[in-house]
């Protein structure tokens, strides 16, 4: 579904992604794990066309998207729930969700809003409240709901569990599996490697911009190096 081939991304002199190759198949949950500054966010931003690789290529459903503007990438069916949520604090919860459907032209938007309120009942109670007044966990739900409103085929999630209380973390990971079961393919970036590997089919380990290891999630979870570096055992 998504093929990333030998990309390199730079911030000025910083070589943030080094010859990275990875792919995501239809229906999978794939996770990218790595320490702070490994380049996880950079990869997701590059997929969305917010950053560019002078080499290699990115294809989605067989079509080259490496040089597409972000709007057209969203239109093709990829959505990113960014690191730090990035909800619009001075818009209402409902308006945040509606904006998620900006690229859609069909008339089922309000129907999907109701679906989001079912998936995240906390948002339903707060639909006319300013998003900036929500708690951290609610903001994460809103960011995910907003991402889903574009009806993506592939959903990119950047550290959805960051800074959340343990109960909420479990809930968010449950929701991710639910979303995947509904047919949405997922590329999940996490520092919480244990939980990410527990729900993923496959995973990649990123170190200083390089993919150093890849494999089935359960294999990675039992790999000695991964256990030492990311699972604290």
Ligand X SMILES: Nc1ncnc2c1ncn2[C@@H]1O[C@H](COP(=O)(O)OP(=O)(O)OP(=O)(O)O)[C@@H](O)[C@H]1O
Positions touching another protein (CB under 8 A) are 48, 50, 69-71, 74-75, 79-80, 82, 86-91, 95-96, 98-100, 102-103, 132-136, 139, 146, 150, 163-164
Burial of 204 from C-beta contacts in 10 A (0-12 / 13-18 / 19+): buried
Residue bearing tokens 């294999």:
219
148 C-beta neighbours (distance < 10 Å), count: 23
Task: Please select the residue that binds ligand X; options are 36, 107, 224, 232, rule is CB under 6 A.
Answer: 36
Task: Please select the residue that binds Mg ion; options are 3, 61, 83, 214, rule is CB under 5 A.
Answer: 83
7 C-beta neighbours (distance < 10 Å), count: 24
Nearest distance from C-beta of residue 163 to another protein, angstroms:
4
Span 185-224, contacts to Mg ion by CB under 5 A: none
50 binds, among another protein, Mg ion, ligand X, none (CB under 5 to 8 A by kind): another protein
Instruction: Answer for the pair 202, 216: CB distance below 8 angstroms, yes or no.
Output: yes
Nearest distance from C-beta of residue 22 to ligand X, angstroms:
14
d(CA 65, CA 3) in angstroms, rounded, equals: 10
Residue bearing tokens 């393919």:
185
Which residue's CB is nearer to ligand X, number 40 or number 146?
A: 40
Residues of this chain that bind ligand X (CB under 6 A): 11, 14, 16, 34, 36-42, 83, 191
């Amino acid at each position: 579904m998504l093929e990333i081939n030998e990309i390199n991304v730079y911030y000025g002199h910083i070589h943030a992604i080094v010859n990275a190759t990875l792919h995501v198949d239809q229906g999978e949950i794939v996770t990218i794990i790595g320490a702070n500054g490994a380049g996880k966010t950079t990869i997701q931003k590059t997929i969305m066309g917010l950053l560019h690789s002078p080499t290699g290529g990115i294809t989605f459903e067989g079509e080259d998207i490496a040089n597409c503007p972000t709007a057209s990438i969203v239109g093709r069916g990829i959505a990113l729930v960014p690191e730090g949520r990035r909800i619009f604090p001075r818009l209402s919860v409902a308006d945040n969700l509606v904006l998620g459907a900006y690229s859609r032209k069909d008339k089922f938007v309000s129907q999907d809003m109701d679906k989001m309120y079912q998936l995240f009942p906390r948002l339903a109670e707060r639909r006319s409240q300013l998003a900036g007044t929500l708690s951290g966990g609610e903001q994460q739900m809103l960011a995910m709901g907003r991402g889903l409103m574009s009806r993506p085929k592939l959903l990119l999630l950047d550290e959805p569990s960051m800074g959340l209380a343990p109960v909420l973390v479990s809930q968010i990971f449950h929701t991710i599996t639910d979303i995947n079961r509904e047919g949405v393919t997922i590329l999940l970036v996490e520092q919480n490697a244990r939980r990410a590997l527990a729900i993923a089919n496959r995973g990649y380990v990123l170190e200083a911009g390089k993919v150093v290891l890849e494999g089935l999630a359960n294999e990675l979870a039992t790999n000695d190096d991964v256990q030492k570096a990311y699972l604290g055992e």
